[in-house]
Amino acid sequence: MSVRPDTEAAAQQAANNAPHRAGFACFVGRPNAGKSTLTNALVGQKVAITSNRPQTTRHTVRGIVHREDAQLILVDTPGLHKPRTLLGERLNDVVRTTWAEVDVIGFCLPADQKLGPGDKYIVKELAGIKKTPKIAVITKTDLVDSKQLAEQLLAVSRLGEELGFEWAEIVPVSAVKAEQEAGRAPVNKGGGGRGAGQVGLLADLIAPLLPESPPLYPEGDLTDEPEMVMVAELIREAALEGVRDELPHSIAVVVEEMLPRENRPADKPLLDIHANVYIERPSQKGIIIGPKGKRLKDVGTKSRKHIEALLGTPVFLDLHVKVAKDWQRDPKQLRKLGF
Ligand SMILES: Nc1nc2c(ncn2[C@@H]2O[C@H](COP(=O)(O)OP(=O)(O)OP(=O)(O)O)[C@@H](O)[C@H]2O)c(=O)[nH]1
């Protein structure tokens, strides 16, 4: 008999005897650091909104990783940044409140970007949150060679020392590699995903840092974000694609209504979704709608596909573009738009 099965059996035995753990973790880092992509890779399904534009994550979206030994609830926060508007200030408050409440904080630093003032600003703020264990996650490792990666690992370790604390762990990951491996070894369900992407390893390292607790969510739940908010985020993500640089921060989406279409045969259900895309100025309307309405139509087609995948039902999506004048600066409008 080979040694390996015995070792595996022993590990399994230990896992069976170990107390179950459950708790919250959040990923922080500069915009575009790869936080949402990492959340999705850990959960194994698209729950957080990703885009190659900074600051796309506005709502706190939780992804839930179910494992034999632990349940990890991931809270995805917006990036911390210098506030220029009322919205910016509120977002930063959300971030700090989240940090103080979670069991583990993962600081994400892209492997291909020099550790800069933005990262130092965030880590300095993190150093102030003494009791929460902090893990440094070097993301996007597929974009660099081993020498560059080693330098980044050293840089982040030194930054911790400079600021007077020690990282609980420093882990390099690649969500892209993990995704490529996903077909062979899913991370969710525990046990899989220990390949070159190292996303499963990250979950292994976070799990022991969580408090002893039975699962907090039923197995199979991947997120507790209300469906309407998730749907709105999927539409906003599609609306952000390919628009001019100044526009992303001006787009908000509110789902007004989600109702099953009446008198449909039981095997052919249809969900009617009415949503408004809000922009700040009338001049932005043309950009969103596009020539002969083509852009808006594309936004509808694209987001509908994602929504149908999320909800598991065919959808009729009715999109309207509305102007909410200077909504980012107006407290009343912000409340109405869900901030
Ligand atoms: N090559 C590579 N690209 C990645 C990886 N992870 C994320 N990206 C890309 O990096 C960009 C930003 O990723 P996000 O996950 O949206 O980043 P974020 O930190 O959530 O961004 P904000 O929501 O703006 O804070 C996207 O274009 C991703 O496709 C990775 O492991 N490898």
pLDDT > 70 in the chain, percent: 74
Residue 11: the pLDDT is 57
Q: What range does the domain containing 325 cover?
A: 227-336
Ligand 1 center to 116 CA (angstroms) = 17
**217 within some domain:** no
Ligand 1 center to 291 CA (angstroms) = 30
Read off the pLDDT of each residue in 205-232 and give the average, rounded to a whole number. 79
Angle at 64 between CA 142 and CA 300, to 5 degrees: 75
Read off the pLDDT of each residue in 311-324 and give the average, rounded to a whole number. 90
- Ligand 1, atom 6, lies closest to the CA of 34
Read off the pLDDT of each residue in 11-28 and give the average, rounded to a whole number. 78
Total domains in the chain come to 2
Instruction: Name the most confidently modeled range: 144-158, 190-204, 262-276, 303-317.
Output: 144-158
Residue 209: the pLDDT is 96
- Ligand 1, atom 26, lies closest to the CA of 52
H-helix segments, the chain: 3-17, 35-43, 86-101, 117-127, 146-162, 175-182, 199-206, 227-240, 285-289, 294-311, 331-336
CB of 34 shorter than 6 A to ligand 1: yes
**133 within some domain:** yes
Ligand 1 center to 114 CA (angstroms) = 16
- Ligand 1, atom 30, lies closest to the CA of 140
Average pLDDT, the chain: 80
CB of 176 shorter than 6 A to ligand 1: yes
Residues 6+ apart with CB under 8 A from 143: 110, 111, 112
Out of 178, 209, 240, a domain closes at 209
Neighbours of 103 (CB within 10 A): 20
Neighbours of 225 (CB within 10 A): 18
CB of 92 shorter than 6 A to ligand 1: no
Is the pLDDT at 48 greater than 80? The verdict is: no
- Ligand 1, atom 5, lies closest to the CA of 140
pTM here is: 0.64
The conformation of residue 105, written as its DSSP 8-state character, comes to E
Read off the pLDDT of each residue in 121-134 and give the average, rounded to a whole number. 89
Name the residue with higher pLDDT: 54 or 318. Answer: 318
The conformation of residue 44, written as its DSSP 8-state character, comes to T
Name the residue with higher pLDDT: 59 or 122. Answer: 122
CA 142 to the chain's CA centroid: 19
Ligand 1 center to 179 CA (angstroms) = 13
Are 92 and 237 within one domain? no
Neighbours of 164 (CB within 10 A): 8
Are 233 and 200 within one domain? no
Residue 56: the pLDDT is 42
Are 88 and 128 within one domain? yes
pLDDT in tens, 246-263: 565 678 888 888 888 888
Residue 59: the pLDDT is 41
Ligand 1 center to 53 CA (angstroms) = 9
pLDDT in tens, 144-202: 999 999 999 999 999 999 999 999 999 999 998 887 776 544 444 333 345 668 898 99
Residue 191: the pLDDT is 35
Contact 52, 3 (CB under 8 A): no
CB of 51 shorter than 6 A to ligand 1: yes
